[in-house]
Amino acid sequence: MKRSRAVSLGILGAAAFGLAACQQEEQTDAAAFPDVESCMAAAAQNGWFTREDCTTTFAEAQAVHSETAPRYESQELCEQEHGAGACGGDPAAATGGGGGSIFMPLLAGYLIGQALGGGRAMAQPVVPKAGGGFATPNGGTQLSRLNSTGKMGTTAFAKGPTTAGQPPMSRAAVASRGGFGGSAAARSVGS
Amino acid sequence: MDRIPLPERPDWRAKAAELGFTFADMHGEPYWDETSAYSFTLDEVEGRIEDPCTELHAMCREAVGTVLADESLMDRMGLPRLRWDFIKDSWEAGEPEVYGRFDLAYDGKGPAKLLEYNADTPTSLYESASFQWLWYEDQLAARVLPEGSDQFNRLHEALVERFAEIFPPDTDLHFAAMAGAPEDYATVETMAWAAREAGMGAHYTDLEKIGISEEGQFTDSEDRVIGTLFKLYPWEDLFADEFSAHLASAQCRFIEPPWKALLSNKAILPVLWQLFPGHPNLLPSFFADDTKGLADAAHLMLGGHVTKPIFSREGASVTITAQGRVLERATNREYDRHPMIVQAYQPLPVMGGMRPVIGAWVVGETCVGMGLREDRALITQDLSRFKPHFIEG
């Protein structure tokens, strides 16, 4: 026989890769809001979260933001990543008197997600990105705009690593990206 | 070799959609087309495609050694001198190749002729290894194809074996393609499935999201260090990119290895002809500025000639000339600025009004399968259709 006995058949899309291995990531209902008021206004039309969920998830997003937002050693570096006017000093560093300044992006809004199998709605803060759009603190999930609803992978709600109390990122630590791909002549580069 | 009309599987579009084969139609035209299939005899597959392509790959390996030992030939490859050592080191270290695809002109009568070797970034892997295989199994089960028939397609199994052979178990491999090209992504994911089946960890990153760490190592979109990178992106483009200065020092192993930059390069075709003149599977080929070589070979080019840029994808910037007249000129001229080679024109056979090109897949150093694409035009371009094949019982 000159053919394979068995072959993997599917192309499942990028979610099939990596830590999730062969399983496609579970999707859930999600919504993004700039503030509690916008969330409350939308709660009526969306069956899966209440006005109360808007308040509790916002409080949670604020706390998670304080704990996991990326920290930078300069305002300039922070603004390079998150845009002009999008950064402020780290309040925790200021009160802790740890010496030196730390800067972090301001909270731009939050994600609210339906917990699979019931339970409290999930929360995740979002911060602005330089050049437009928004991202979760670890950059893993990106949004083009707030005041939007849709399906989202549940990993978008996983809490990122704690950055509060950690040394801020220097210019060198902010990974330089985008150094590949510039020379492609066509959209599809295969042959 | 024959082109035989066959009933389509009634549910193939639903299957394609379910499996994520989203580009079965492209640019509003069918890309996967099973209204007919190409048939071959077993002797033909083995004697005309399989064995010659295994031999061609061995000849290509010999040509790599020749080019690396000769600065004037290296100069012909159009690759930056700064990266020559990087290429040479990968060859001398014996960095193993994984896959490649020979494109062949074959008419069922004479020997198959090598048009070019897609040795670095071949695509259509999903269609060849997976969807074509499923077509065969379905048509066999439906008795559209008889018991005792077969398909030349050990591609998937051979890839699994190859990954297991060249990497220790549980090696983390990264797979990268440019974002937004589903046909490229399908090839990358097919490769990743095979790696995973071989016991490797497979991680995807968009090529554009690759970063560089403080220590000078490449990182993926989640800042994990990349130890081994399968990149569906041509070496000549990597060499021109901003990060090229880091390639040699990033402690990263690449698939395909850097020396494949010499084989995916059409400048290798004149080198092969110099090394193996008159080989039955080679077409006479010369560098375009080799006026003496071309003049001496005029009697070999009576049927016409084709000019091709040394770097080109999907037929771009190719021109076919015969009897002093341009027969066909690719409309996409993006590669015009590159050095050119001239190859004797080998017309593709016309079957059912279409011109098929055979894609013979090499995994490791062995030819293990094939897939065909056909086009109405003389130059097979990105609107060509993928066609399944079978071996008669």
Its ipTM equals 0.88
Q: Does residue A16 carry a pLDDT above 70? A: no
- Measured distance CA(A98)–CA(A101) in Å, rounded: 9
Q: Does residue B250 carry a pLDDT above 80? A: yes
Which chain B residue's Cα is nearest to A170? B214
Quote the minimal CA–CA distance from A182 to chain B in Å.
Answer: 6
CB contact at 8 A, A136 and A125: yes
Tokens of B113: 């002729």
Tokens of B321: 């000339």
Bond into B92 cis (ω within 30): no
| pLDDT tens, residue by residue, B334-385 | 889 899 999 999 999 999 999 999 999 999 999 999 999 999 988 887 678 9
What residues in A contact B130, CB-CB < 8 Å? 7-9
State whether B152 and A3 contact (CB < 8 Å).
yes
| pLDDT tens, residue by residue, B149-189 | 999 999 999 999 999 999 999 999 999 999 888 889 999 99
Q: Which of A99-103, B6-10, B69-73, B237-241 is least confident?
A: A99-103
- For residue A81, the model assigns a pLDDT of 87
What residues in A contact B382, CB-CB < 8 Å? 188
| pLDDT tens, residue by residue, B93-137 | 999 999 999 999 999 999 999 999 999 999 999 999 999 999 999
Q: Percentage of chain B surpassing pLDDT 70?
A: 100
Interface probe, candidates B150, B219, B313, B381, chain A, greatest A C-beta count within 10 A: B313
| pLDDT tens, residue by residue, A78-136 | 998 899 999 999 887 765 555 568 999 999 999 999 988 778 899 999 999 887 888 89
The mean pLDDT value of chain B amounts to 95
State whether B234 and A175 contact (CB < 8 Å).
no
Cα–Cα nearest to B212, from A177, A77, A180: A177
Nearest to A191 among B42, B213, B313 (CB): B313
- Measured distance CA(B352)–CA(B368) in Å, rounded: 27
CB contact at 8 A, B150 and B391: yes
Cβ of residue B232 closer than 8 Å to a chain A Cβ: yes
Nearest to B197 among A8, A10, A180 (CB): A8
- DSSP assignment letter at A154: G
Q: Between these two residues, A41 and B57, which has the higher pLDDT value?
A: B57
- Measured distance CA(A150)–CA(A142) in Å, rounded: 13
